[in-house]
């Protein structure tokens, strides 16, 4: 099998845990927000072990702060590793960004300046993170609302260079590409076409909010038509990559999420018919 999980899954949200445990709907896989399950012996971890008996799970985190200048938080990594050893996820991902500085957590995924120095810095930390976890990581492109004057590269060249130097895989968020393309006026297809096919292991889809002056990546709406079109282009290039629907604000009924995942599967079926 080319991919250890296949098909289109959904992000597991607390609102749906009871239904998923009770109904066991036919979903090929689920992705958890790792940071919500790190308390040892918590009821959340017990739920997770129950769910892991029925579904392949992937871990998606926001706390590694892989681009920060702070030292890696080894306590955080040891908690993630303990959960990895209990649940054995298919893979682990986090974002190519920074979320903390001087020990203060921003709770935002802040982009990095796209420079040679930042490539070396982020890649070295991703390698260190992979060693701490004894697992390969997937790094995800974030949506952004600012650019740095110091950036000397495109975002896609930066992402490719970091993945190459760290020797890690890529979680490609197609919605984030679209949001950033609109906010910074670049061609999203140029982004897709620059990414090496062999490193992409997972795709994310989500819904943004149009604020008029910019698009905001709220994860609070259905996937837009433009992002569905970009997704079709992505899988034409990368193949039938496992795809995940993220929905974090105004979380709808479970069936709405399942319908979005089903729609992604239909796009794949249509592209590869």
Contact segment (CB under 5 A) with Fe ion among 26-34, 157-165, 171-179, 253-261 equals: 171-179
Tell me the backbone φ, ψ of residue 254, rounded to 5 degrees.
-55, -40
Complex with Fe ion: residue 108 or 116, whichever CB lies closer: 108
Question: Cβ 204 to Fe ion, closest distance in Å?
Answer: 3
Does residue 173 bind Fe ion (CB under 5 A)? yes
Complex with Fe ion: residue 133 or 139, whichever CB lies closer: 139
> Which residues, including other chains, have CB under 8 Å from residue 205's CB and lie 6 or more apart?
173, 174, 175, 223, 227, 231, 243, 244, 245, 246, 260, 264
Q: Which residue has the tokens 């890690």?
A: 168
Contact segment (CB under 5 A) with Fe ion among 42-50, 73-81, 168-176, 181-189 equals: 168-176
Complex with Fe ion: residue 155 or 173, whichever CB lies closer: 173
Does residue 201 bind Fe ion (CB under 5 A)? no
SS3 68: coil
Write the binding mask 123 to 162 for Fe ion: x where contact by CB under 5 A, - elsewhere: ----------------------------------------
Contact segment (CB under 5 A) with Fe ion among 111-119, 144-152, 199-207, 263-271 equals: 199-207
Does residue 204 bind Fe ion (CB under 5 A)? yes
- What's the first-to-final CA gap in the chain, in angstroms? 19
Q: d(Cα 66, Cα 94) in Å, to the nearest integer?
A: 8
Complex with Fe ion: residue 51 or 142, whichever CB lies closer: 142
SS3 103: coil
Stretch 10-69 residues interacting with Fe ion (CB under 5 A) = none
C-beta atoms surrounding 30 within 10 Å: 22
Q: d(Cα 122, Cα 261) in Å, to the nearest integer?
A: 32
> Residue by residue, what is the 3-state secondary structure of 160-171?
HHHHHHHCCEEE
Complex with Fe ion: residue 86 or 145, whichever CB lies closer: 145
Does residue 95 bind Fe ion (CB under 5 A)? no
Question: Which residues would be at the binding site for Fe ion (CB under 5 A)?
Answer: 173, 204
């Amino acid at each position: 099998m080319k991919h250890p999980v296949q098909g289109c899954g959904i992000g597991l949200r607390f609102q749906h845990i009871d239904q998923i445990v009770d109904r066991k709907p036919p979903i090929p896989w689920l992705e958890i927000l790792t940071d919500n399950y790190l308390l040892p012996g918590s009821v959340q971890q017990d739920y997770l072990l129950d769910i892991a008996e029925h579904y392949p799970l992937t871990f998606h985190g926001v706390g590694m702060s892989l681009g920060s200048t702070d030292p890696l938080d080894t306590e955080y990594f040891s908690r993630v590793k303990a959960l990895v050893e209990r649940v054995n996820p298919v893979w682990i991902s986090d974002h190519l960004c920074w979320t903390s500085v001087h020990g203060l957590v921003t709770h935002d995924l802040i982009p990095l300046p796209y420079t040679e120095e930042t490539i070396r810095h982020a890649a070295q930390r991703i390698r260190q993170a992979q060693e701490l976890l004894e697992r390969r990581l997937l790094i995800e492109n974030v949506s952004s609302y600012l650019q740095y004057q110091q950036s000397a590269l495109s975002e896609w060249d930066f992402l490719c260079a970091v993945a190459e130097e760290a020797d890690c895989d890529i979680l490609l968020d197609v919605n984030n590409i679209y949001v950033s393309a609109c906010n910074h006026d670049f061609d999203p297809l140029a982004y897709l076409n620059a990414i090496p096919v062999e490193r992409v292991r997972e795709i994310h889809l989500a819904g943004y909010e149009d604020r008029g002056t910019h698009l905001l990546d709220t994860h609070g709406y259905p996937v837009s038509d433009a992002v569905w079109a970009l997704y079709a282009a992505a899988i034409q290039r990368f193949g039938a990559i496992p795809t995940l629907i993220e929905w974090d604000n105004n979380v709808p009924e479970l069936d709405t999420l399942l319908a979005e995942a089903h729609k992604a599967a239909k796009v794949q079926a249509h592209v590869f018919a």
